[in-house]
Amino acid sequence: MGNTILDERYKELLRQVYEILKPLGYKKEASNFRQIYKGGLGKILNFQKSKWNTNNEIQFVLNAGVYFEKENVIQNFRFKESECQIRKRVNGNDSWWVINESTDMEKLYESVKNSLAMILDLFSVFTDKETTIELILNEKANSYSDITIMHYRNAKLLTDMGYAREVYELIKDSNAKFLAELAKEISLTFTRQM
């Protein structure tokens, strides 16, 4: 693999994307664009190439995520989209862009640019860490994510951050093994505090 012309077209597309994102405070690392806010919130736009790419065709999608850690300052400046609490694949799971010899790069760029505008607008609701946590706990964030937000890792993180009662209400009836165990652990903590 490694068709130089197609690879160069892809790299040029990422360069054009960065021209849009850089003035908004995003930093580029390979095919990831991250924005880190004061107060401990991060956002990422990740261009993921297909593992099935060939010398004659490059396929890719755009993944987006919202990220935070326990502390109010992000320590992991290289967080991945897969580590985000809220994750979204732009244009859905079956909408891969294609670069091949006959691709009209101007049309492709316009399509990517429109999708960028859509995801930036969609994720503009996550203005800071506190708002993001509130949207998760009142379950409004679910409409922005392609994954279940209240999975074990997020539930444990929020519990450790002091939101045990709120998390408990969201997971107390869960049939998922680890969530059920966490709910039981939280419940025991409540009992000991009485």
Q: Where are the beta strands (DSSP E) in the chain?
A: 27-29, 32-37, 41-49, 57-68, 86-89, 97-100
The pLDDT assigned to 2 comes to 54
CA distance 68 to 103: 38
Q: What is the pLDDT of residues 129-159, one digit of tens each?
A: 999 999 999 999 999 999 999 999 999 999 9
CA distance 8 to 27: 20
pTM listed for this prediction: 0.92
pLDDT above 50: residue 18: yes
Cβ atoms of 81 and 87 within 8 Å: the answer is: yes
Percent of the chain with pLDDT over 70: 95
Q: What is the pLDDT of residues 96-138, one digit of tens each?
A: 999 999 999 999 999 999 999 999 999 999 999 999 999 999 9
